[in-house]
Amino acid sequence: MLQADDKGIRRAAEIIQQGGLVGIPTETVYGLAGNALNGSVSRKIFAAKGRPSDNPLIVHIAAEEEARPLVKEFPEPARKLAAAYWPGPLTMVLPKSELVPMETSGGLSTVAVRLPAHPVANRLIRACGCPLAAPSGNLSGRPSPTTARHMLHDMDGRIDAILDGGPCGVGVESTVLALAEQKPRLLRPGGVTLEMLQRVVGAVTVDPAVLHKLADGAQAASPGMKYKHYAPKAKVILVKGTAERYREFVNSKKAPGVGALCFDEDQHLLKVPSVPYGSGNDSAAQARELFDALRELDERQEIQLVYARCPEPEGVGMAVYNRLIRAAGFEVITL
């Protein structure tokens, strides 16, 4: 574990320049970072995460101009969005240049690029002198890490170091927007909301896989969306309904092994073991706390079946809903 001070950042940069892998803080979640322009480093990232190699990596840069050599063109909507939301939790998918190895782009002709707002990430990228491929630093399928401790739990012995920059502010991964086609298309909701995108570029299509299960055999626009993700060991079922109905329902299911993933204000009224993930009217708090709550469920051996309170899928809540419905394997009960 490295402190996120000058010395720690210098050490992390040396490791990355030598082809190693370092866990890094960003404002969204912790990333597993290596030189994005070296295909063999990207292969090591896939191996460390146990990630299928057709699930592309996001390339992180430290200044907007650094996006240009990575892409064939940086069209007008990309320029406007960069001006509005970079640095920040927005990833743009654009046609890639020859500079980006096929390993990094998961075999696709496009590349996902982001300029993170976290000062440690920014200083590290500058110190490395190359863009960093940095997928979320979890083992494939597990909730993304929002603290250095989460990352150590998943990656101990698999990577060279972790820079500890404290807990992440946003708590869910970046918004992913495809700009390589006619109309901008939202592939993954995140901290930059649909409304924020629409304000800058007008109409944005929401890919059906954001809110619904992909039909069997359907092609995923964002390869990451076809894989099981975020699931704790316990079975999770998402429960839609009012606060009262949720409490009544969960209390009626009281039995050994049953637990709840609820809003803060539900907790004292529930008669089963529960883990809260923020207040019902605070989507930003839900986003910040969700992955830690999912990991805590894994530590609570007594809980094998989790009834999760459904968040309001508006604003940042769309990102929370998108992650939770995947954690639940799309199993939903409407009260």
Q: Is residue 223 near ligand AMP by the rule CB under 6 A?
A: yes
* Tokens read off for 83: 């001006």
Question: Whole-angstrom Cα distance, residue 168 to residue 157?
Answer: 23
Question: In angstroms, what is the minimal distance from the CB of 324 to ligand AMP?
Answer: 16
114 is in an annotated binding site: yes
136 contacts Mg ion (rule: CB under 5 A): yes
188 is in an annotated binding site: yes
Question: Under 8 Å CB-to-CB from 241, ≥6 apart: which residues?
Answer: 249, 310, 334, 335
Among the listed ranges 34-42, 82-90, 106-114, 233-241, the one in contact with ligand AMP (CB under 6 A) is 106-114
Q: How far is the CB of 148 from ligand AMP (least distance, A)?
A: 17
CA atoms of 21 and 32, how far apart (whole Å): 7
Is 199 marked as binding a ligand?
no
Annotated binding residue 300: no
Q: Is 60 annotated as a binding residue?
A: yes
Among 110, 122, 175, 193, binds ligand AMP (CB under 6 A): 110
* Of 9 and 22, CB closest to Mg ion: 22
| In the block, residue with structure tokens 């089963």 | 272
Which residue has tokens 């101990």? 156
Nearer to Mg ion among residue 47 and residue 63 (C-beta): 47
Among 22, 41, 45, 111, the residue binding ligand AMP under the rule CB under 6 A is 111
Residue number, nearest CB to ligand AMP: 224
Question: Which residues between 137 and 156 bind ligand AMP (CB under 6 A)?
Answer: none
Q: What tokens were used for 213?
A: 């299960």
How is 215-261 classified by DSSP, letter by letter?
Answer: PTTPPPSSGGGGS--S--SSEEEEEES-HHHHHHHHHHT--TTEEEE
Question: Is 89 near ligand AMP (CB under 6 A)?
Answer: no
Among 123-131, 196-204, 221-229, 252-260, the segment contacting ligand AMP (CB under 6 A): 221-229
Under the criterion CB under 5 A, does residue 26 sit at the interface with Mg ion? Answer: no
The residue with tokens 């998402």 is 238
What x/- string results for residues 32 through 71 when contact with ligand AMP is judged by CB under 6 A?
-----------------------xxxx-------------
> How many residues contact Mg ion, by CB under 5 A?
1
As to burial, measured by CB atoms within 10 angstroms (0-12 exposed, 13-18 middle, 19+ buried), residue 201 is: middle
Alpha carbons 65 and 116: distance in angstroms, whole number:
14
Q: Is 109 annotated as a binding residue?
A: no
The angle that helices 148-155 and 283-299 make with each other, rounded to 10 degrees, is 40
Task: Point out which residues pair with 2 in neighbouring strands.
Answer: 163
Dist CA 194 CA 73 (whole Å):
23
In this structure, the strands spanning 161-164 and 175-178 are unpaired
Q: Residue positions in the annotated binding site for L-threonine?
A: 28, 60, 114, 134, 174
Which parts of this chain interact with Mg ion (CB under 5 A)? Answer: 136
Which parts of this chain interact with ligand AMP (CB under 6 A)? Answer: 55-58, 93, 105, 108, 110-112, 135-136, 173, 176, 187-188, 222-225
